[in-house]
């Protein structure tokens, strides 16, 4: 019999780094920068290496990338000057150049469709679909293997926004996580064809972590002058679950009528599919989506453990939900660098650093 092997994955014997920050946006950024200076510098170095290694396809030097990133800055400063300030704090705290931090935060805008940057899988079940009546959300973060060392868990108490708990890596603004108002955001890259100069996706999703209610999250997701768009899987503690599929000019909302939702990296709504760029490139996204749909459908009630089991699934390995796709050129390599399950009712996040098939989960609590 022939069988696809599961490639060896790094084992982490400790939990991912936990950093508590508080204060103004600039202060929080600089606290993250100081606490994880090495990891932030490493993430900038990795991004630079990736552009170098991909020069034949992207045709962009690091200097050109910095020039390109600056074209997005006026949009960011106009709408969200406080999050630009957070990036400035990150740069100062980590002894990095702000321009370099900006490139990392605009990488999806700069590299466009050439880098299929993320291959994430997100899921949620509400209180009617969980065995203990809790609202649960799960996300596999698939990214370049070199950034696995840079995974951070941030507990933040901003002066004028709700406290939140987030997973991020390196110099990226926080975006995946949940806040004290019981709003969770999971992010999946999608590939709209209507990209333009505008507000970078990471600033849009950073702002969603400050939402106080469901419609507030929608308004932040659909902010004007977007450069492109993600899928934002939004879960409220009441059990309301939406996938908001976004491009620069369009959006559609999917609602979890049966109490569960899955999203990967292709648009699900028929109207959004019309503007999907190169849908034939998104094959593993489709395989992961249907596989997760089947596994989620096999149980009437889910638990943290049953969602973790889906996160560890290896069907279609190495392009599986537990992603081990580390074969080929650096630009084509992806793997699950972190898997998390959020118990929104308990305000807890259970995080496996690296591939969840080989690394144990650690629990983090929101410090509100």
Binding site for Zn ion (CB under 5 A): 322, 355, 357
Contact present, 326 and 7 (Cβ < 8 Å): yes
CA distance 182 to 132: 17
What is the token pair recorded at 346? 């308990």
Question: Least distance to Zn ion from the beta carbon of 178, Å?
Answer: 25
Which is nearer to Zn ion, 162 or 356 (by Cβ)? 356
Kindly state the DSSP code that residue 125 receives in the 8-state scheme.
E
Contact (Cβ atoms closer than 8 angstroms) between residue 9 and residue 358: yes
- H or E, element range at 343: strand 335-343
Identity of the residue, 223 or 309, whose beta carbon is nearer to Zn ion in the bound complex: 309
Q: Are 147 and 170 in contact (CB under 8 A)?
A: yes
User: Which runs of consecutive H residues, i.e. helices, occur in 71-211?
Assistant: 73-79, 81-93, 98-105, 107-111, 201-208
CA–CA separation, 306 vs 59, rounded Å? 44
Would you say 189 or 355 has its CB closer to Zn ion? 355
- Give 5 or 160: the residue with its C-beta nearer to Zn ion: 5
The residues, any chain, with a CB within 8 Å of residue 252's CB and separated by 6 or more, are: 244, 245, 269, 271, 272
CB closer to Zn ion out of 211 and 312? 312
What is the distance between the alpha carbons of residues 352 and 360, in angstroms, rounded to a whole number?
Answer: 5
**Is the distance from CB of 336 to CB of 322 less than 8 angstroms?**
yes
Nearer to Zn ion, 79 or 336 (CB): 336
């Amino acid at each position: 019999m022939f069988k696809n092997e599961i490639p060896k994955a790094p084992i982490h014997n400790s939990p991912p780094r936990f950093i508590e920050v508080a204060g103004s946006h600039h202060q929080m950024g600089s606290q993250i920068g100081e606490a994880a200076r090495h990891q932030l510098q490493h993430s900038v170095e990795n991004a630079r290496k990736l552009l170098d290694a991909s020069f034949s396809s992207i045709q962009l030097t690091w200097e050109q990338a910095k020039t390109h990133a600056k074209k997005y800055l006026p949009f960011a400063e106009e709408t969200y000057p406080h999050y630009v300030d957070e990036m400035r704090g990150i740069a100062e705290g980590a002894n990095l150049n702000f321009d370099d931090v900006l490139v990392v935060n605009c990488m999806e805008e700069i590299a466009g469709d050439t880098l299929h940057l993320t291959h994430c899988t997100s899921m949620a079940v509400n209180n009617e679909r969980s065995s203990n009546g809790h609202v649960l959300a799960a996300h596999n973060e698939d990214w370049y293997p070199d950034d696995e060392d840079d995974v951070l868990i941030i507990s933040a108490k901003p002066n004028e926004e709700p406290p939140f708990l987030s997973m991020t890596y390196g110099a990226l603004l926080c975006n995946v996580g949940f806040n004290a108002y019981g709003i969770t955001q999971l992010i999946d890259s999608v590939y709209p064809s209507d990209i333009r100069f505008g507000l970078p996706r990471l600033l849009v999703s950073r702002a969603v972590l400050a939402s106080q209610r469901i419609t507030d999250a929608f308004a932040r997701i659909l902010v004007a002058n977007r450069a492109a768009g993600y899928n934002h899987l939004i879960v409220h503690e009441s059990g309301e679950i939406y996938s908001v599929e976004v491009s620069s000019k369009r959006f559609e909302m999917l609602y979890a009528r049966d109490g569960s939702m899955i999203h990967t990296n292709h648009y699900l709504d028929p109207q959004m599919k019309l503007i999907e760029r190169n849908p034939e490139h998104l094959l593993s996204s489709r395989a992961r989506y249907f596989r997760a749909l089947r596994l989620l459908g096999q149980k009437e009630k889910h638990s943290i453990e049953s969602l973790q089991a889906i996160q560890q699934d290896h069907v279609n390995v190495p392009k599986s939900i537990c992603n081990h796709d580390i074969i080929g050129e650096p630009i084509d390599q992806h793997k699950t660098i972190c898997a998390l399950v959020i118990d929104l009712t308990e305000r807890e996040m259970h995080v496996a650093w690296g591939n969840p098939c080989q690394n144990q989960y650690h629990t983090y609590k929101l410090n509100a």
